[in-house]
Structure 1
Amino acid sequence: MHQTLLPFLGACLLIAASPGPSTVLIIRRSLAGRRHGMATVLGNETGVFVWGLVAAFGLTALLTASRLAYDAMRVAGAVVLVAFGVQALRAARRLKTADGERAGGEREDGAEAAPAGGDAAAAGPLRRSYRAGLALNLANPKAAVFALSFLPQFVPAGAPQLPSMVALAALWAVFETGYYACYVWGVDRMRRLVDRAAVRRRLEQVSGCVLVALGIRMALEG
């Protein structure tokens, strides 16, 4: 087993480094604070582990065998992506409105506007960020099919497949948790820049457009 760990972790690094919907969502939720970012990471990695378990038991083979099941899940995943994108675009619009109101108040009374930093209260409870990460991962049929094709390649010859794949799935989730924690830390370190209203609004707009585009692409692809 130890002979497969280094290649497996290298593959996990390449997978995590490839930008995708999870990366966009984690960065966006991190704008509300480090705890929300980490809650999103934990939700996403719970989904990774779940798909690993499903693949270990061979259940994701149903998605590859049934076109109807795969298409249904693909459409559901597209809806989830678009919904998250719309939420980000609405957040950008609210920030623009709030920024305009602060600017108007400053012109009237000369008071300095408060910074538009990441508002954890507006992001809701931490479980909302956790559910967002979990839902985004579980709604992606590509994640299921990928787990089915990815994990068996690293099961050592002669090793029991089920416990080996479960162990690899757990290691995959733990590794990605550490990797994405660096994203959360990076956003937190750039707090002064991110807390500027114009920057925060632009980040919300970009993440919203990216999520909507990814959702449309998932819905249209064969």
Structure 2
Amino acid sequence: MDRQLIAFTGVAAGMVAMPGADFTVVVRNALVSRRAGVACALGIAGGLLVHTTLVVAGVAAVLVAVPALFRTLQLLGGAYVLYLGVRTLWALRGPVEEPEALSAAATHPVRQGFVTNALNPKVSLTFLSLLPQFVPAGSPALPRTLLLALIVIGLTLVWFPTVALLVDRLGGWLRRPRAARALRTGTGLALTVLGGALLLEPYVS
């Protein structure tokens, strides 16, 4: 039994399930429809593939060596998350159940998930710092790193679609005008705060 692999799976599961921009954008889309929520989750998994490729290629190390590049990506990611939050809050100025607002929120859910994850350089840095800790001494690094990265992607493909399905399952209650407005306000504020934090972090750290 590979104890390191089991330990990594537990750590990775906790990281994937931790609420953040990915979680919030999936909930936001799942409120529109199950299909939009699951599509957004697939976009997030696609973003993780980008980070996996960067780590395996060693490009992620450049983010550490070149602070300006890291901050540029961080600002782009923060701006996009902030845009999604403001857009969600802006849609609340009319009736929550307006078809126009719903269709606007569901626009390109795969792209929303992909961009939200792919433009977060911290994901690459997390891969870069965490994965080597679970590569046994003397083992080939590349196959093991790929395996660990695939575990993270697999957990993502389980967790976020599950979140989308649960939100859709509760859709009847969550889409009641009062509940829908409260939840969308919460997701909009969460995205706005997360985006603002990403934008401000380079200047306060």
Cα shift at 1:123: 4.0
Cα shift at 1:41: 0.6
* Structure 2 equivalent of residue 164 of structure 1: 144
* Structure 1 equivalent of residue 128 of structure 2: 148
CA distance in 1, matches of 2:49, 2:2: 20
Task: Indicate the SS of the match to 2:95.
Answer: helix
Cα shift at 1:159: 2.2
User: How far does the alpha carbon of each residue in 1:52-75 deviate from its partner, in whole angstroms, 9 at most, with x for none?
Assistant: 221122110111111111111111
Give the fraction of aligned pairs with identical amino acids, expressed as a percent.
31
Deviates more, 1:154-163 or 1:52-61: 154-163
Is structure 2 residue 109 aligned with structure 1 residue 133? no
* Structure 2 equivalent of residue 7 of structure 1: 7
CA distance in 1, matches of 2:161, 2:64: 32
Deviates more, 1:25-34 or 1:168-177: 168-177
Distance 1:60 1:208, change over 3 A: same
* Structure 2 equivalent of residue 70 of structure 1: 70
Q: TM-score, normalised by structure 2?
A: 0.90
Cα shift at 1:3: 3.6
CA distance in 1, matches of 2:86, 2:123: 22
**What is the root-mean-square deviation in Å for CA atoms of aligned residues?**
2.0
* Structure 2 equivalent of residue 110 of structure 1: none
Task: Kindly name which structure, 1 or 2, has the bigger radius of gyration based on alpha carbons.
Answer: 1
Match of 1:203 among 178, 183, 202: 183
CA distance in 2, matches of 1:40, 1:49: 14
Kept in 1, the 8 Å contact 2:36–2:106? The answer is no
Cα shift at 1:177: 1.4
Cα shift at 1:82: 0.7
User: How far does the alpha carbon of each residue in 1:114-169 deviate from its partner, in whole angstroms, 9 at most, with x for none?
Assistant: xx8x94x44446xx111100000011111121111111112232222122212221
* Structure 1 equivalent of residue 49 of structure 2: 49
CA distance in 2, matches of 1:186, 1:32: 13
Distance 1:173 1:75, change over 3 A: same
Kept in 2, the 8 Å contact 1:73–1:139? The answer is yes
Runs of 5+ consecutive residues of structure 2 not aligned to the other structure: none
Letter in 2 for 1:219: L
Residues paired across the two proteins, number: 201
